[in-house]
Amino acid sequence: MIINLTYYHVANDVPEITPDIAVVIDVLRATTTISWALKNGANSIQVFADLDLLKESATKCKTDERIMLGERGGRKIEGFDLGNSPLSVTKKVVNGKRLFMSTTNGTKSLHRVQNAKHLFAMGLPNRRAVAEKIISLKSENVLILGSGWEGSYSLEDSLAAGALAAYLETNSDFEVNILNDELQASLALWEFWKNDILKCLKTATHGKRLTSLGDYEDDFKCCSELDCLDIVPTQVERGVIRAS
């Protein structure tokens, strides 16, 4: 068997296809936040590209059963309960709750590939869990989608794409075929930075953007942790993600 891996930097680059498996990455910080929210007991996370649609959907859920997460430009949106920090989705806050979430980049990417047969959200903390899930499914085609920053390339998402591809190459019992130069470059990026992930995240332009907004040191540390979560955030119905 051969598993074919393709990497796209941003959602707009993805052609109109329906892959067997799509993995969406937004290291700083949406897919990291999603992973930690589910680890801490969130019932589900419904993701939105459009804020008005999020607000409309959230009103259908009881106030004490929902949490609204909204972020644009790295900052929490006024009127929302939380922004987009993995440190904010503690067990005390999210356990048993349905989360309604919209971010600058990550939720748009999830929306873009929502028709995939299997759709997973991945950060560095759950890299191994997602990779093992992919291996178990034995699907031939895997699309990896970085969320980027408002349509531009993202260093940290490409790092994570390389981390995923490297794990699959090393641990699969079948051939892994890297289909495009973008993923080859991501593998090289991973090889260069894998021993100092935190520095890579801070070197990235989005890392520098967050630093300019305030003290995000703990967020950086959380987002740079590798293989510490066994959660695989999985789309169970269009736009709705649960742990598997």
Amino acid 22: pLDDT: 98
Residue 101 near residue 46 (C-beta atoms within 8 A)? yes
Amino acid 121: pLDDT: 98
Residue 109 near residue 24 (C-beta atoms within 8 A)? yes
Amino acid 8: pLDDT: 97
**Angle made by CA atoms 32, 132, 98, in degrees to the nearest 5:** 40
Amino acid 32: pLDDT: 98
Domains in the chain (CATH in brackets) are: 2-241 (3.90.1560.10)
What are the per-10-residue average pLDDT scores of the chain (244 residues)?
A: 91 92 98 98 97 96 97 96 98 98 96 97 98 96 95 96 98 96 98 98 96 96 98 98 96
Q: At what angle do helices 155-171 and 181-193 cross, to 10 degrees?
A: 90
Tokens read off for 180: 């495009």
Rounded Cα gap, residues 188 and 190, in angstroms: 5
Element (H or E) spanning 145, and its range? strand 141-146
Amino acid 2: pLDDT: 87
Cis status, amide bond into 128, omega within 30 of 0: no
